[in-house]
Structure 1
Amino acid sequence: MSREQQVQQRLLAIETQLRQAGLWQTVAPTSEAFASTEPFCVDTMTPLQWLQWIFLPRMQALLDAGAPLPVSLAIAPYYEVWLEGETPERARLLHCLNEFDQLFESAN
């Protein structure tokens, strides 16, 4: 399986986990929220909004365009801090994010 196929598979796993946990939103944030210049849009979006509305679509766009993927990437640590409590949903989402990050650790 190619790296691109693995990334595609992991993106789908993250989306599936968000949906199963009831965290998937059907209404996008305001256009102003997307204009943020802060990392993770911390001033205008929740971390889960950023994941759904910024990160997943941008990674998918790179795949669709056949564009180079990031050389390194680590988003799981941000969510380890942000997601509070020890719940099965948190554990499953962090597992998906860690698996995604691992694709970029082995690329170096």
Structure 2
Amino acid sequence: MRIISLVTLILFFSSCSTHLTKSGKNVRLVTENQKEKYCKTLDIITASNELGWDAAHHSQNAMNEARNRVAELGGNGMKIISSNNSQGYGGSSQAIVQVEALSCNFTKK
């Protein structure tokens, strides 16, 4: 019975995370200077998350969601436009991140 409870608890907490996809792991953060030299804009993405233990976890989940969505568009870079943690009613919080999805050629000189 203890093992079932432990497995259920682990599954519950892991389901509260936005995991990076294989291609999402290849999306890197880009500075304004890098963007101007190596990248073209694909789209603007807004990602949010309120599933997690605390504000830092919400922020990480929102960033993971943004990376995954950039990768889905065929991008390999993203520049953060804005990042915000807000406190809601009853102590709940939400993280919202807005990024510029980019296709970058980092080997270009």
Coarse TM-score class (shorter-chain normalised):
under 0.3
Q: What's the TM-score once normalised by structure 2's chain length? A: 0.24
Larger Rg computed on CA atoms: 2
